Every structure is written in C-alpha cells, then in structure tokens.
Amino acid sequence: MTINKAESQKSQPTILSYVKDLPNLCSLAGLACTLLAIYFSILGVYYAAMIGMIWAVAFDWADGLIARRMKGRTGDDRAFGGQLDVLIDIVSYGVTPAILLLSFGKFEPLFLIGAFLMLAASAIRLSYFSVFGLAGGSKYTGLALDNNNIILVFIFLFEAAFSQGTFAVILYVSGLGLAALNVSQIKTPKLSGNPVNVYILAAYTLGITAVYGWKLL
C-alpha cells in the first residue's frame, strides 16, 4: 500500500511544471492585466483600469486559440488549463467589475449591494458552466462573463458626458443588467471559439487601448 502511494506521488507532475505551458502563461498574463485593472480602479485612474480590463479579455481569448492549435497537450494539461481559466475568470469578470463599481461609487454602502450581486452572479454562472458546459455543445447558457468587460469598457467611453453621480447610476444599472443576463437562460454563441472573432477582439482591444491611452495624456 505504501509503495503504491509513493509511486502515485512520484508520477504526479510538479505544480510549477504547468507554468511553462504557453496557454497557461497567456492566462497568467491576463491575470496580471486584471490585477492592474483592480489597482487602478482603487486609485480612481479609471481609464487605465479600462485598458487592463480589455487586455484581460484579449489574453483570455488568446489562450484558448493557442491551446486548440498546440499539439501534444495531454488530458491533464487541458484539465489544469480549464481550472486555471475558471479561477482567473471569477477575478477578471466578477471581482474586477465589482471593485470598479465600488470605487466609482466612492465605496458608499449602497454600492456594496450591486457589487455583491455582480460577483454572486459571476460565481453562479461559472459554477453552472463547470457542471453543464455548453448547451448543445456550441452555445453558452447565460451571457458569458467575458462580455461583462467588453461591454463595460465601451460604456465607460461615455463617462465624461455625464456628471459623476449620474454615471455612477448608469454604471450601477449596467452592472446589474449584466449580472441578470449572466444568470439568465438566454443562449449565446461561444465567440472566442472562432479565430475571426479573436482577430476582431484584437482590433477592438487596440482601439480601446488607443482611446483610453489618449484620454490618460
């Protein structure tokens, strides 16, 4: 029994051995962008936060594209990458938008409710997907979480057209609307599975980066 246990432990790869996997490195790059988005949201440098949020999506989509084109990846590699994606997604598309809402709302207690609902919807959405996967093998049930960032960075383009208080309400309502769509029964296509969509997102990411970079100057 002891010998079998020792052999089982010996056959397990090391934790850090998965870091050298290119798709996982891409996922971690997205996590770094997410951390920057959280950091700048807390500081109130929202334009920089928007850049971090959209690049988090870009790296998230890129890691899937790379993983599908790589040869020689084992079942363990795919399983580890899938788990890593889920954990990063809750931070990128749940925690980050929630912190953005809290920060823009000056951390008023009322904004805690919206932030919690957004975060809870993200956790429920990801848990549902982990259990049931794609509906019919091709569509998501509920709005995929990466759309939260894609939509929010677009909405934020109009922030300067409103007073701080008015746009805080717009952001609050938008966040709750996205949360409702995340846990709804609507069926949406898996956009990241199409290479053409990845290139469209790349163009969108560069455009958003240019606009917000200009606003930061």
Cβ-contact 140, 134 below 8 angstroms: yes
The predicted model gives 67-79 an average pLDDT of 79
In percent, how much of the chain has pLDDT > 70? 95
What pLDDT score was predicted for residue 68? 77
> What is the residue extent of each domain of the chain?
20-216
The 10s digit of each residue's pLDDT in 7-46 is 555 578 898 888 888 889 999 999 999 999 999 999 999 9
pLDDT at 21: 85
CATH number of this structure's domain 20-216: 1.20.120
pLDDT on residue 143: 95
Tokens found for residue 82: 């899938």
Total Cβ atoms within 10 A of residue 55 = 23
Distance, CA of 45 to CA of 49 (rounded, Å): 6
CA 4: distance to chain centroid? 40
Dump pLDDT digits (tens) for 143-166: 999 999 999 999 999 999 999 999
For residue 65, the model assigns a pLDDT of 82
Residue 46 is predicted with a pLDDT of 98
Give the mean pLDDT of the chain. 91
| Confidence label for 84 from pLDDT (cuts 50, 70 and 90) | very high
Pairing of strands 139-141, 187-189: antiparallel
What is the model's pLDDT at position 38? 98
**Phi/psi at 21 (5° precision):** -70, 125
Q: Are 176 and 184 in contact (CB under 8 A)?
A: no
Taking a C-beta distance cutoff of 8 angstroms, is the pair 146, 60 a contact?
A: yes
Stated pTM of the model: 0.91
Query: What would the DSSP string read from start to end of 46-110?
Result: HHHHHHHHHHHHHHHHHHHHHHHH-SS--HHHHHHHHHHHHHHHHIIIIIHHHHHHHHHTTT-HH
Note the pLDDT of residue 153: 98
- Residue 3 pLDDT > 70, yes or no? no
d(CA 48, CA 217): 11
> Distance of CA 126 to CAs 70, 175, 199, Å?
25, 17, 25
- Does pLDDT of 5 surpass 70? no
Token pair of 207 as six digits = 């455009």
How confident is the model at residue 2, as a pLDDT?
Answer: 52
Q: Which residues pair with 159 in a beta bridge?
A: none
Q: What is the pLDDT of residues 108-152, one digit of tens each?
A: 999 999 999 999 999 999 999 999 998 887 899 999 999 999 999
Beta-strand ranges (E) seen in the chain are 139-141, 187-189
